[in-house]
Homo-oligomer: A and B are copies of this chain.
Amino acid sequence: MPKIVDHDERKQHIAEAVVQVIARVGFDRMTMRELAAELGYAHGAVVRYFPNKQALLTASFLNLYNRADERIRCAVEGRRGFDALEAMCREILPLGTNGRMAARVVLAFWARASQDDEILAVHFENNKRWRELMHTCLLQAREDGMIREDIDIDIATAELAARNAGWQMQACLMADVTPDAVIEEALMRHIDSLRKRRASRTVGQ
């Protein structure tokens, strides 16, 4: 009987494995041939799914994005407001070995997205969905009376999106001064800066 190949599974496998190869050798230096050899596929088997390195990078980014998306969905389950926001940001921020490995793919992908309108559109839609979720969390914090009254929720959402992005760069390019503890402490302090002060609540009571 001929071997039955699950094409979706194989495609997924390649898109996942390429993250480690990009993190190790860098996107520019990675060759399709090496990648195929590393995965134990024939060169043609990889090219069949991904005609070039750019297609591989996009697939790899979307794979990371979708996995983060699933983790976020689990993490925010049953949470709202700042609790949900913190849980979400922890899944996006480049924490741990996996987070740092992903950040290298993210940086390569950004450079690519800045040069290709189609890739840019893919990135825009994904990023926008995360912004919408952060926006929802901030609105919940407002409903629950947890957020400072002078916070502009649109600006606060954009700020969160910017800082989540900026820490990817810091984890990758300023690794020596960016241990996990700094990323986590900065997140806690940033969210705290949005919270209504205990003091002013006491005054209001």
A167 to B158, CA, bound (A): 9
- Asked if A123 CB lies within 8 Å of chain B CBs, one says yes
How many copies are assembled?
A: 2
Q: Which of B115, B156, B174 contacts A124 (CB 8 A)?
A: B174
Contacts of A127 in B (CB 8 A): 173-174
Q: Across the interface, do A115 and B182 meet the contact criterion of CB distance under 8 Å?
A: no
Q: How large is the interface on A (under 10, 10 to 19, 20 to 34, 35 or more residues)?
A: 35 or more
Do A155 and B114 form a contact, CB below 8 Å, given A169-B162, A193-B193?
A: no
Please give the distance in Å from A193's CB to the nearest CB on chain B.
4
Is A82 an interface position by the 8 A CB rule? no
Return chain B residues, CB-CB under 8 Å to A152: 185, 189
Task: Give Cα distance in the complex from A108 to B159, angstroms.
Answer: 22
A residues 152-205 in Cβ contact with B at 8 Å: 152, 154-156, 158-159, 161-167, 169-170, 172-174, 176-178, 182, 185-186, 189-190, 193, 199-200
